[in-house]
Amino acid sequence: MTTFSKGLEGIVAAETAISYIDGTNGILEYVGIPIGELASKSTFEETVYLLWNQRLPNKGELAAFTSDLRARYSLPAGMLERIAGVPTDAEPMHVLRTMVSALSMYDPNPNENTVEAARDKSLNILAWTPSIVAAFDRGRRGLEPVTPDTSLGFSANFLYMLNDKKPTEAMVRAFDICMITHADHGLNNSTFTARVIISTLSDMYSAITGAIGSLRGPLHGGANEGVMKMLNEIDSVSDAEAYVMGKLERKERIMGFGHRVYKAKDPRATELMTLAKQLADDTGNADLYEKSHAIELIMEREVAAKGIYPNVDFYSATTYHCIGLKLDLFTPMFALSRIAGWSGHVIEQLADNRLFRPTVNYVGPHDAPYIPIDKR
Ligand code: COA
């Protein structure tokens, strides 16, 4: 039995109880709960618990999970020196990928693959990655790293470590919503990468490192940086029409639009659109939102018939900008959140593993003669 599907479109390659996507109707659920419910009512910590346990925690469970995460905020000794040693002009995604790989060397049992060990490693990686990104960003600005504050939640602590200043409630909530909405998304490319790697019974660090490498591509998580670059190229709302039409005529892609699974508006884009508008108004960036919205309307008129709508990356760009993040930190933000989903999928894969090993259609020659080198 062989089926060839370029890009594996339409191929069911795994089973999951973590998230569900209905691409036709624009629905995303984490363990059955619509993303809009979680974005408006949950916290990132609670959402991670949901993804890893496939149920919401009660008060005691959430308090224990949160304090366990906070107790792990500080990086292993030696990691800060390692981060300080990387070139300051390195791309943050390359730094994050390299440093997550390096974390394996500080784990006395990096290859332990029991479900319990995998959960423990996931919690460490989730707790440490914000410190990696913040320490690198401060280092390249000539600033010392900020010691994490265990009295703060995941989102507040990250923004505090980045800026050495306690963030406002509004910024923390906005960042938390970004973390919630990016946490998991079916068998997307990076999650598939993580599952493929762990299916050899490799290790959690290798799986997450590979997933970060996948995520940074402009067709995947790297698109949020592409959206921001596009918004920067458009001087004002009135220029959006000519800009978008020019790109479509040249058959170029508009970043933040289109999706392999969604043929309707990505529900995460709906959540982030509301958030982006509010933040843009509050931070004096209304022009960014207006440009984005103008692009969405032009795209709706031109390509909605082909099922091309805004995806998660479209409005997250404006949101991250308004939170005060530098452009090259946008994709690392996606990674900080998606670590929750990747590790949930690794744990799920380990619990019922079978090696991923597809086949390939060979299209080269057969029985070719071996020509000696001096006759070629
Ligand atoms: N802008 C313009 N046209 C687009 C488009 C975009 N962002 N995304 C897809 N299309 C068009 C393609 O040109 C193609 O048109 P054609 O049939 O006339 O040639 C058609 O839609 C199908 O595209 P295809 O590349 O086969 O779809 P895919 O499922 O392989 O690709 C993405 C999905 C996400 C890679 C693609 O939509 C894309 O490149 N989007 C921009 C990057 C992005 O935002 N990525 C983040 C995803 S969350």
- 257 C-alpha vs ligand 1 centroid, how far in Å? 7
Tokens matching residue 236: 């004002």
Q: Do the beta carbons of residue 57 and residue 42 sit within 8 Å?
A: no
Tell me: pLDDT of 1 over 80: no
CA distance linking residue 292 with residue 273, whole number of Å:
9
CA distance linking residue 276 with residue 258, whole number of Å:
19
Residue 27 dihedral angles phi and psi, to the nearest 5°: -115, 135
Atom of ligand 1 lying closest to residue 227 CA: 44
pLDDT at 74: 97
Mutate which of 260, 308, 314, 338 for ligand 1? The one with the most ligand atoms within 8 Å of its CB, which is: 308
Q: Do the beta carbons of residue 99 and residue 339 sit within 8 Å?
A: no
Q: Do the beta carbons of residue 204 and residue 119 sit within 8 Å?
A: no
pLDDT at 234: 97
Tokens matching residue 170: 């509004």
HEC profile of the chain: CCCCCHHHCCCCCCCCCCEEEECCCCEEEECCEEHHHHHHHCCHHHHHHHHHHCCCCCHHHHHHHHHHHHCCCCCCCCHHHHHHCCCCCCCHHHHHHHHHHHHHHHCCCCCCCCHHHHHHHHHHHHHHHHHHHHHHHHHHCCCCCCCCCCCCCHHHHHHHHHHCCCCCHHHHHHHHHHHHHHCCECECHHHHHHHHHHCCCCCHHHHHHHHHHHHCCCCCCCHHHHHHHHHHHCCCHHHHHHHHHHHHHCCCCCCCECCCCCCCCCHHHHHHHHHHHHHHHHCCCHHHHHHHHHHHHHHHHHHHHHCCCECHHHHHHHHHHHHCCCHHHHHHHHHHHHHHHHHHHHHHHHHCCCCCCCCCCCCCCCCCCCCCHHHC
* Residues 317-338 pLDDT 10s: 999 999 999 999 999 999 999 9
* Residues 44-84 pLDDT 10s: 999 999 999 999 999 999 999 999 999 999 999 999 999 99
Catalytic residue among 107, 184, 266, 313: 313
Q: Do the beta carbons of residue 148 and residue 131 sit within 8 Å?
A: yes
Q: Across residues 222-251, what is the average pLDDT?
A: 96
Mutate which of 182, 253, 254 for ligand 1? The one with the most ligand atoms within 8 Å of its CB, which is: 253
pLDDT, averaged across the chain: 97
Tokens matching residue 286: 């209304």
Residue 25 dihedral angles phi and psi, to the nearest 5°: -100, 5
Mutate which of 11, 28, 219 for ligand 1? The one with the most ligand atoms within 8 Å of its CB, which is: 219
Q: Which amino acid is at 190?
A: S
- 186 C-alpha vs ligand 1 centroid, how far in Å? 18
Q: Whose CA is nearest to atom 9 of ligand 1?
A: 258
pLDDT at 330: 97
- 244 C-alpha vs ligand 1 centroid, how far in Å? 15
Catalytic residue among 185, 259, 321, 345: 259
* Residues 109-167 pLDDT 10s: 999 999 999 999 999 999 999 999 999 999 999 999 999 999 999 999 999 999 999 99
Q: Across residues 173-185, what is the average pLDDT?
A: 97
Q: Any residues with Cβ below 6 Å from ligand 1, and which?
A: 7, 219-220, 223, 253-260, 306, 308, 311-313
Catalytic residue among 220, 282, 287, 328: 220
Q: Do the beta carbons of residue 33 and residue 183 sit within 8 Å?
A: no
Tokens matching residue 4: 């060839």
CA distance linking residue 251 with residue 238, whole number of Å:
21
* Residues 195-230 pLDDT 10s: 999 999 999 999 999 999 999 999 999 999 999 999
Q: Across residues 236-245, what is the average pLDDT?
A: 97
Q: Whose CA is nearest to atom 30 of ligand 1?
A: 260
- 323 C-alpha vs ligand 1 centroid, how far in Å? 28
The count of other CB atoms within 10 Å of the CB of residue 283 is 17
Tokens matching residue 312: 């998660």
Predicted model pTM: 0.95
pLDDT at 88: 97
Mind listing the domains of the chain with CATH numbers? Answer: 1-67+161-356 (1.10.230.10)
- 227 C-alpha vs ligand 1 centroid, how far in Å? 14
pLDDT at 17: 98
- 98 C-alpha vs ligand 1 centroid, how far in Å? 29
Residue 33 dihedral angles phi and psi, to the nearest 5°: -95, 125
pLDDT at 359: 94
Tokens matching residue 345: 């999928």
Tokens matching residue 227: 């959206």
Q: Across residues 258-274, what is the average pLDDT?
A: 95
pLDDT at 2: 82
Residue 259 bears catalytic tag: yes
Distance of CA 102 to the CA centre of its chain: 20
Q: Across residues 105-110, what is the average pLDDT?
A: 97
